Amino acid sequence: MFRKILIANRGEIACRVIRTARRLGVATVAVYSDADAGARHVALADEAVRIGPAPVRESYLRAETIIEAARATGAEAVHPGYGFLSENAEFAEALAAAGLSFIGPPASAIRAMGLKGAAKALMQEARVPVVPGYHGDNQDADFLLGEAERIGWPVLIKAVAGGGGKGMRRVDKAADFKAALAGAQREGANAFGNDRVLLEKYLIKPRHIEIQVFADSQGNAVHLFERDCSVQRRHQKVLEEAPAPGMPADMRRAMGEAAVNAAKAIGYVGAGTVEFIADVSDGLKPDRFYFMEMNTRLQVEHPVTEMITGQDLVEWQLRVAAGAPLPLRQADLRIDGHAVEARIYAEDPNRNFLPSVGKLHRLRPPVEGPHVRVDTGVREGDSVTPFYDPMIAKLIVWDVDRGAALRRMGQALAEYQIAGVTTNTAFLIALAGHPAFAAGDLDTGFIERFHADLIPPREGADATALALAALAVVLQRRREVPVAASDPWSPWAQVNGWRLNDQGYDELLFRDGERDITLRLDYLADGAIQMHGPQGSSLRAEGALCADGSLEAVLDERRLKLGIARLGADIVLLRPGSVQKLTLVDPRAAGDLDEAGGGALTAPMPGKVVQVLVAEGAMVEKGQALMVLEAMKMEHTIAAPGRGKVAKLHFNAGDQVGEGATLIALEMES
């Protein structure tokens, strides 16, 4: 076993590797960019080395700097995690040249699977079924359009060096092909430094099922069963589970054998995942699955495999990289129960999953135990920045069967409290509890199919939320106003709306989205308040702010305890399964909260302008794409809100923009 390893990654996967290394008595070295100087993985590691500024090309992708850090600290091996340099053959070779072990497969195996077109040709030779498509070198747009016509619509354009949904576009008709091709090529070049693409037949009702494989340097190879990753948005996984719902034994056996054959065909060593697409238009059938790609690294969703097999895959990685044989044979591996993983992201499902950045003012995960596991790289007080993936945590649950696991997932998600950024937790609760999901009616179009159920319009604050927010304001005021020790009964020391010869009352103005709500608060003699809200609602409220930042409240006869965060004028209520934000408005400064008028289009988050699609003076129609913004490794299209004229372009392609920056000024037609 190695004495010391360097982890060439960040966030939750770096923390995950550190946990196993510490259990095995292996010292760890973290690397960090300027943006990660105070990060959790840096604090957990035994040592840490700065490798550059925040942008990944100046830090986590600088192979030579990472290798120098490993040599300087005496590390014997490098664990790449996933993403960044994890599937970079040149990095693996450079490590070997420096006398360091790579905790991953041989460079030859990475190359064999690195370009998807070549990988599919290799799999065809190994008699692993592949999806019909074009995997050749000709990248001429007209030629590719002809190939798409031959394959038949819809087709999928995929960056050959891609992953995680980047550089991927579905195209349903010829008229849309070239624009989609250009977008996929551009995104592939930006994310992977390679703009080549391949084409595949797009299956109308597919399931994404992958097999975890492991091989050692003695020629042994096994699979650790399957994971179902069908529920995706933007071709990125949202929920993963193991085993796959409804998987027949003969199909599990066939897929496992195909995955092991794929690994052996390229002389694989270490942890890898063979991803298949299954045509489930007629149910799961052992002759209806096709090779998509092989990820030559540990996967984000590996914890669900660990939960159903009882194995630590990072420990397997370390032992195999050190030259040991696989810990178990295929016959020794068993499936026990069911596990589900939810990726908790800082993103807004109601805005097409737009990433959210900001400080995690409150971050309280559910309690971990035999049934609940949280893999995370952030702590309360950390920030989600525009430089890296906005995943906050992976929540993994296990139970004896799928139904019990889904119920446990819903409960654990409801217990999560996050304030400071918008998250997808309510969306995940709706997803895990959806009747079709519970019934196993899965395919990669699940979210689009049930979009209205999963992402309903935001509801306004109800009377309960308004009463809780008002109570929080009153309690905070009582805490902050010092009572004069010499005269505690002075009206100047009170925050109860004191009035001579009258019951104290007050008014609060809250902004709930675009709606302004005025509440009247009557201060009662026993210290409670009576809240009078819209449409005649009225609630008696009393309670206390707790030391842990929660609010204990009694509304009429109902007792509640919830998380609460005060972020400037915003009051964030964290009730089980829901997040409600209300803004306390000072009427004297209400104008400061008004949005910019006119036709100004602003940046929804920090990013880089990669394409400007219109010129000043051009007439545009509602929904027309005007500008493409890249943020957090994904592209976002800025579209016209209505018909009008482009009055001014404030930025050009290549410019960096901050959140809220005015991108385009439009003169809107009335």
Could you tell me the residue ranges of all domains in the chain? 4-103, 133-201, 206-454, 463-591, 595-668
User: Which residues, including other chains, have CB under 8 Å from residue 585's CB and lie 6 or more apart?
Assistant: 509, 510, 511, 516, 569, 593
Looking at the DSSP bridge assignments, the partners of residue 530 are 522, 540
Which residue from 608, 659, 601 is spatially nearest to 636, judged by alpha carbons? Answer: 608
Buried b (16+ CB within 10 A) or exposed e, 258-293: bbbbbbebbebbbbbbbbbbbbbeeebeeebbbbbb
Which residue from 567, 461, 578 is spatially nearest to 511, judged by alpha carbons? Answer: 461
> Would you call 283 helix, strand, or coil by DSSP?
strand
Q: Which pLDDT does position 459 carry in this prediction?
A: 87
Residue in the structure block whose two tokens are 């796959």: 244
Q: Give the separation between CA 447 and CA 443, rounded to whole angstroms.
A: 9
> Would you call 358 helix, strand, or coil by DSSP?
strand
Q: Give the separation between CA 453 and CA 352, rounded to whole angstroms.
A: 15
Q: Which pLDDT does position 482 carry in this prediction?
A: 57
- Output phi, psi for 496, to 5 deg: -120, 25
Calculate the alpha carbon distances from 605 to 57, 78, 638 in Å.
Answer: 20, 34, 12
Strands of 27-33's sheet in order across: 47-52, 27-33, 4-7, 77-79, 101-102
Contact 237, 345 (CB under 8 A): no
pTM above 0.85, yes or no: no
pLDDT profile of the chain (670 residues), mean per 10? 97 98 98 97 98 95 98 98 95 97 96 83 87 90 96 93 81 96 92 89 91 97 97 89 97 96 95 94 90 94 98 98 98 98 95 90 96 98 91 98 98 96 96 96 93 93 96 90 50 53 78 93 92 94 94 96 92 93 77 49 84 93 88 76 91 87 88
Report the sign of the C-alpha dihedral through residues 483, 488, 489, 492, in that order.
Answer: negative
Q: Determine the CATH number of domain 4-103.
A: 3.40.50.20
Which runs of consecutive H residues, i.e. helices, occur in 416-489? 425-432, 435-438, 446-449, 451-454, 463-480
Residue in the structure block whose two tokens are 């700065």: 50
Fold match between domain 4-103 and domain 595-668: no
Q: Give the separation between CA 631 and CA 353, rounded to whole angstroms.
A: 12
The token duo for 648 is: 């001014």
Q: Which pLDDT does position 41 carry in this prediction?
A: 98
Give catalytic residue positions: 297
Contact 608, 657 (CB under 8 A): yes
Contact 229, 212 (CB under 8 A): no
Strands 77-79 and 4-7: parallel
Q: Is 567 exposed, middle or buried (0-12, 13-18, 19+ CB in 10 A)?
A: middle
> Would you call 482 helix, strand, or coil by DSSP?
coil
Neighbours of 72 (CB within 10 A): 12
Q: Which pLDDT does position 584 carry in this prediction?
A: 94
Residue type at position 449: R
Q: Is 148 exposed, middle or buried (0-12, 13-18, 19+ CB in 10 A)?
A: buried
Q: Determine the CATH number of domain 463-591.
A: 3.30.700.30
Q: Which pLDDT does position 234 carry in this prediction?
A: 77
Q: Give the separation between CA 347 and CA 357, rounded to whole angstroms.
A: 8
The token duo for 529 is: 């308040």
Q: Which pLDDT does position 639 carry in this prediction?
A: 86
Q: Give the separation between CA 308 and CA 310, rounded to whole angstroms.
A: 6
Calculate the alpha carbon distances from 275 to 132, 212, 285, 500 in Å.
Answer: 16, 9, 16, 75
N-to-C CA span, the chain: 72
Which residue from 39, 44, 35, 88 is spatially nearest to 66, judged by alpha carbons? Answer: 88
User: Which residues, including other chains, have CB under 8 Å from residue 418's CB and lie 6 or more apart?
Assistant: 344, 360, 362, 363, 364, 392, 425, 574, 579
Strands 77-79 and 101-102: parallel
Q: Which pLDDT does position 484 carry in this prediction?
A: 42
Which residue from 63, 68, 51 is spatially nearest to 87, judged by alpha carbons? Answer: 63
- 133-201: CATH homologous superfamily? ATP-grasp fold, A domain (3.30.1490.20)
Contact 249, 256 (CB under 8 A): no
Calculate the alpha carbon distances from 576 to 420, 463, 580 in Å.
Answer: 17, 17, 11
According to the CATH classification, is domain 206-454 in 3.30.470.20? yes
Looking at the DSSP bridge assignments, the partners of residue 554 are 542, 559
Neighbours of 547 (CB within 10 A): 6
Contact 147, 191 (CB under 8 A): no
Q: Give the separation between CA 154 and CA 173, rounded to whole angstroms.
A: 7
Buried b (16+ CB within 10 A) or exposed e, 493-503: eebbbbeeeee
Which CATH architecture is the domain 595-668 placed in?
Beta Barrel (2.40)
Report the sign of the C-alpha dihedral through residues 53, 56, 60, 65, in that order.
Answer: negative
